[in-house]
A and B are shown apart, each in its own frame.
Chain A
């Protein structure tokens, strides 16, 4: 196999239509006779619904029907949670339209169906809902006390408690021994603020009920899962549902969901017999699409005086919000395996309590559990270094797995197949100019410069390529982690690749074409990638968890391998040679030791015409493959941030950001670079800018982008990016995944840098986002308390 395409920084082929207005997002779809929906949403975070009067709305001009929870109670079912993490997990019923009670502000209480979007919107204000207010519980630590209940019917706010203990699992020692025998014990509590995924394209769904199948177009990351779940939830035969994810404008986990609005649009289409469209406003998106993070992390880390970590005890409170979405309950569990990160300490315990509150429900957001874990351990490594007066890099070096120790079984029970933390760190230090910045930091401290300098370090790893199905089964996840692909060889020799990985901005069309062009020896331009329609791509588990290349891409390669095997039979027959003597390279089959050869295209045509094929040969080169990974992949990297803190205003600026990522073998460096940049932006946003804030009544205060601060290009620094390449040993390409790396690594790098800049002034911690007012308040508090606490 030549490697002409893999490794090549090709411009993405899908960009031409995306950036020239030829895109087709769900909201662009208009069908004959289509009706428009608008949602009536609860302004209250917790209330009984005593009556819903829709008379005025129904008689409003253009209104066709109004659906209330009572109207659809018998058919709407309960929205799915596919990951009950414990057998006794508690969860409230989750109706798409609330029937008796609302549990967060923004929950749908009625749906207007009208002939125009404007008529639907006008009628929203005419629906008269009587609410009887109930007490709200919003704070996680309050929720844990069970004094005010988010769902009184459950009798508790606790959904489930999940525990991992290395002593019990046999993967390490009991944590108690480590903590009791600690020479140094660091205890900290960190707050992972609630974030909003903020995808660019708001969620939108169009449902056409007029054909034999119900066709659902939706701005979703998961057309296949959505099809199955809509069928199960709404009791429609799965074969009667077709889901299409057309162009989808970002997701970041926020579109890894089966939403109330999708179910309601199906119900509306069913009730009216007409095509129906719902597109949310940005305000609705911020308030009612699922949120992410929202955890309280209590940590105890034991170590020797030399800075060798001996144990880590993690106790989490995780905010589910008001309901359990598709994988809500499992998100903290994805982090459970990552708190030990790249380090090899011998004792580890993790306990997570999932709690309900009267806020929008949470679920996957870029990194999903792993950014939280990485933040915690990387902050703790810095705290340990500060406690011992050691350089934070030195502390990491003393604890990390050395490159010659791979494969390495971690205290959390995962087998890391490969990695080279020394190499990535050495490269990062060189690009960063670590020693010079440390010298400048000392000078600024000595001269009491109002602008102080800090260096933030984050050495991280993550588990990508979700996931080996057996592992998911052991975690009680409701599905497997395989992916499907089909490679079709057309009579002209052109190739169609059908993938179950549904792209929503990742560039699969380009990357898969590169993979197949190399594998089959055909020009890049001759490969077409098809996805995102359950009628075309019948099987798949979709796109999330940095799984596309390491799982979906491997399925594509496996299917292409099968094509080659089939074509070899035809080639041998046509060239009157033994199959054993046929070699395939650069798109041609040749007979060993002769100059006889034939191209894949010629075999494709011969197979199509089927005039002269071996006896019993099925005249078809098309091949399917379903790939189930045997292990996760473990990208890693070293991120370094030089942070300036203006001690007069509290403003934090990123002066320099260097990251060296090791994502294994790279198919398209340009796509990798784009993923790293976008990931960094979202990780930095958590550190400095974004937070979903509710008032005491449970109303979302950050209800627009005026208050929910998503940073833009002017707010972000130039990134110095580089890579090392330590191939994964568990897939044929050696790829590892890159979709979440930047998000996971950058948040602790920034916060560690902020604290490094002001720690000598007595500041030990600042809650995220490290806004100017918070940094200034921390500095003021340190002044009042006379420095170090």
Chain B
């Protein structure tokens, strides 16, 4: 459990970090909370020559309002996302998902941005961020660039972020009047999601007006369950209607098979968990 030798730098500003990153080229790696990077380095599955620690860079942690949205700093620890009053008020889905990440130690060290950039398909933040239609704010040598969540996740551990860019913030629209739930399925408490479902639902009277559903670990990237969303829009607020809509949950997914279950089981789970997530989010 000893990593290969590497150089270490701890810049104080985004600009410094960017120039260090440019210098290091493809042998550089950004260190956020280190909850994924350090283990893979210790297992020697990654051996960056230069580790650039973002821990001292100012302005990257914390949650603040930005008009009709929240700006969540990339270096905000999961625990803070899970307990932040602004997140709880405007995007409770993120708070609920962040609270399910790993264990308390990881939630205090691991960061919101780090987990998103790592883009593990079984990670708990990509699907909620996708469902919430967030925007990724990236700093690069040429200045700032914004990427919609729908375009950000591109494959296993692969995102739209370029090698010379740093994720600084995630801009998440405020959701008022929406119910939310993150339904996570694991075999033991501290485990990556086998399948999880992020659901946001807006109810008007006895009808579901709108729904946003994101699926964790049902493909190489998080996916929107658009068929379910369409079936729910305008549907009566009943368990039967939700169950019928949820039967579309696996459409367009491409889940992996592993020790925790094969693809068929994951497709089945997606339906069951979508139903449960929507029922809870809708307050039934």
Contacts and interface: CB of A to CB of B under 8 A. Distances in A.
A283 B265 contact: no
A709 B188 contact: yes
A709 B259 CA distance: 11
A773 B188 contact: no
B43 A707 contact: no
Interface stretch (B1-9, B149-157, B204-212): B1-9
A650 B44 CA distance: 36
Interface string A114-147: 0001100110010000000000000000000000
B12 interface: no
A281 B1 contact: yes
Contacts of B262: 773
B200 to A, nearest CB: 22
Interface stretch (B24-32, B130-138, B189-197, B233-241): B189-197
Q: Is the interface of B mostly helix, strand, loop or mixed?
A: loop
Interface string A709-739: 1111011000000000000000000000000
A117 B194 CA distance: 36
B146 interface: no
A772 B269 CA distance: 10
A648 B195 CA distance: 14
Q: Is the interface of A mostly helix, strand, loop or mixed?
A: loop
Given A117-B2, A712-B189, A777-B265, A648 B272 contact: yes
B189 A773 contact: no
Contacts of A121: 2
A773 B190 contact: no
Contact of A122 (B5, B185, B194, B273): B5
B2 A773 contact: no
A649 interface: yes
Given A117-B2, A282-B1, A283-B43, A715 B189 contact: yes
Interface string B28-66: 000000000000000110000000000000000000000
B265 A118 contact: no
B156 to A, nearest CB: 16
B83 interface: no
Given A118-B2, A281-B1, A649 B269 contact: yes
Interface residues of A, number: 29
Interface in A134-166: none
Interface in A694-708: 701-702, 706-707
Given A282-B1, A701-B259, A709 B43 contact: no
Contact of A649 (B4, B185, B188): B185
A701 B273 CA distance: 27
A773 B260 contact: yes
B145 interface: no
A86 interface: no
Contacts of B268: 776
Contact of B187 (A648, A693, A771): A771
A689 interface: yes
Contacts of A714: 188-190
Interface string B59-89: 0000000000000000000000000000000
B261 interface: yes
B265 A773 contact: yes
A772 B43 contact: no
A118 B4 CA distance: 8
A715 B188 contact: yes
24 contacts: A117-B2, A118-B2, A118-B5, A122-B4, A122-B5, A125-B44, A648-B272, A651-B185, A689-B187, A689-B188, A693-B259, A701-B259, A709-B187, A709-B188, A710-B188, A711-B188, A712-B188, A712-B190, A715-B188, A715-B189, A772-B194, A773-B260, A773-B262, A776-B265
Closest 5 CB pairs of A and B: A773-B261, A714-B189, A121-B2, A773-B265, A715-B188
Given A712-B188, A773-B262, A777-B265, 14 more contacts: A121-B2, A648-B272, A649-B272, A649-B273, A689-B187, A693-B259, A702-B259, A709-B187, A709-B191, A772-B194, A772-B261, A773-B260, A773-B261, A776-B268
